[in-house]
Structure 1
C-alpha cells in the first residue's frame, strides 16, 4: 500500500497565528484570566488542550466582567471592540489577516453607501463577523437563489468567505453580473484555501481512496470532503482523529491519499500517517 499526503494540507497561517497567540498568552503568565470568544478554531482536540491550560471558551462578552479575551481567527463584529472597551476587558486580536482585509473592505464600501453582498454561510462565525462591519446589513448569499435579495439599482460590493469553493464563487459572480451593473468584486478566498482545495482535488484523482482529517464543524474541512467525494464518492473518509480509522476497510486499497483542514494540527496528521504505515 502507498500513502500520499496532499502537497498543501493542515494548519494555515491564520490558524497558526491564533494558536501561537493563545499559547504565548498562557506562557506570559499575566494576572488576567484568559478566554476565547467562541472556540479558537474548529478543532475539539485543540480547544480541549487550551482548556487544560486555563483558557475557557465564552460565547458572549456578557459572560465576563474582566480578563483577557482572545478573538479567534474567524474575527468578530466591529461592535465587540466597543463593548470590550466599555467593560474594561482586554482584547487580544487573533483575527486572520485575510479575514481582517475583508472586514476593512466591507466597512469602507458600506460607508460609501454600497450594498454589501457576502458569499458564504450565514451561520459561520467568519461571515457573522464580516456582516458586523456593515451594521449587519449585508446580504448573505449561501444559495444562488439568494441573489434575488439584492437590489438591482444599488452599487454593490461583493466579498466571499475565505474558505469558499472557487468554483461556487465563480458561479455566484456570473449570476450577480447579470443582475447588477455597478459592481465592486473582491475574490477574498484566501490563497492557502485555494491551494489546499486544488491539491486535494489533484490527489483524489490519483489515488484509490481519500482520508480527510479535520473537525466535523470545520467549514474548510467540509469543503475538502466535498471536493474529494467528487472524484471518490464512495471512497472518501472524513475523520477527526486517528482512532476513527477503519483499517479493515483501508486494506482493500492500493493507494490512499490524505489531506487535512486548516484547523488540523500537524501532529494529528502525522499520527494518522504513522499508524497507517505501521499497521498496513
Structure 2
C-alpha cells in the first residue's frame, strides 16, 4: 500500500510561533489551551511546566501567563493587564488581524458580520473588539430575517472555507448599501485544504490527524470525506484500526495546523506495521 502525505499539512506559522514561545518561557500558564492538540499540550506541561488554565478566573499565584494562539477577549486582556503577572502574547498574527479590523470598523460606525462558530475561542475574542453590533453566523440563512443596517463590515474565522465566506458576502452585497469585506482566512488554511482535496481524490483511504476540537482539522476531514468515503479523523496512532486498511492500495495522510510532526510520524509507523 502506498502511503502519501498531503503536499501541505501540519503546524502553521502561528502554532510554530506559539510552541516556540512556550518552550522558551517555561514555568507558565496559558489562558485556555495554547493550541487545539491535547498531545502537544501534555508534552509542554511535562517537559516545560506550561500548564493550561480553563480561563482567566483560574489564575492564582502564577507569575507568567501566555495568551493562547486563538487570542482572548479584549475584556480578559484588560483584566490581565491589571495584575502583576508577566504577559506573553502568543496570539497568532492572523487572528490579531480580524480583532484590529473589528475594532477599527466599529469605531467608524459599521456593524460587523463574523463568519464563524460563536463558541470558538478565536471568534469570541474577535467579537469582543466590536463596539457596535456583531452578527456571528455560519451561513447566509441566519441573516435572512435580520434587519440589517446600511453599513456592514465582514470578517471570517481564520479556518473557514472561502467559498462559504463568499456566499455570505454575496448575500450582503444584495441587501446592504455599503459592505466592507476583509478576507481574514489564513492562507495556510487554503493550502492545507487544497492539498487534502487533491490527495483524497486519488486515495482509497485517508487519515486526518489532529485534535477533534480543532476547527481547521475538522474542515480537512470534511473535505477528505467528500472525496473519499473511507476517511478517518484521529488524534493519535492508538485510534488506528487495521481493518480500515484491508484491500486498500493508496493511503493519504494529512494533519491539522496544531498537529506536530512527531504525532504524524507515529501514525505512519503504526500503519506500516499492518499486514495490508
Partner of 2:225: 229
Distance 1:97 1:85 in 2: 20
Unaligned runs of 5+ in 2: none
- Tell me which of 244, 255, 264 is aligned to 2:239: 244
Unaligned runs of 5+ in 1: 27-32
**What RMSD in Å do the two structures reach over aligned CA positions?**
1.5
Secondary structure in 2 matching 1:116: strand
Distance 1:60 1:238 in 2: 28
Superposed counterparts of 1:248-263, under 5 Å: 248-263=243-258
Residue 274 in 1 paired to residue 256 in 2? no
Superposed counterparts of 1:63-212, under 5 Å: 63-65=58-60, 66-135=62-131, 137-148=133-144, 150-212=146-208
Q: How far does the alpha carbon of each residue in 1:215-260 deviate from its partner, in whole angstroms, 9 at most, with x for none?
A: 1111101111110111113x00111101111122212200010010
Residue 213 in 1 paired to residue 205 in 2? no
Q: Number of matched residues?
A: 273
Shift of residue 149 of structure 1?
Answer: 6.2
Distance 1:176 1:250 in 2: 46
Q: How far does the alpha carbon of each residue in 1:150-177 deviate from its partner, in whole angstroms, 9 at most, with x for none?
A: 5433311100000001221122222121
Normalising by structure 2, we get a TM-score of: 0.94
1:131 and 1:137 in contact (8 A); partners too: no
Secondary structure in 1 matching 2:216: helix
Normalising by structure 1, we get a TM-score of: 0.93
Q: How far does the alpha carbon of each residue in 1:123-156 deviate from its partner, in whole angstroms, 9 at most, with x for none?
A: 0000000001114841101232221365433311
Distance 1:149 1:194 in 2: 31
Shift of residue 89 of structure 1?
Answer: 2.2
CA pair 168-75 structure 1, distance change in 2 beyond 3 A: same
Partner of 1:34: 28
Distance 1:63 1:127 in 2: 21
CA pair 149-128 structure 1, distance change in 2 beyond 3 A: farther
Shift of residue 194 of structure 1?
Answer: 0.4
Structure 1 window deviating more from structure 2 (57-66 vs 244-253): it is 57-66
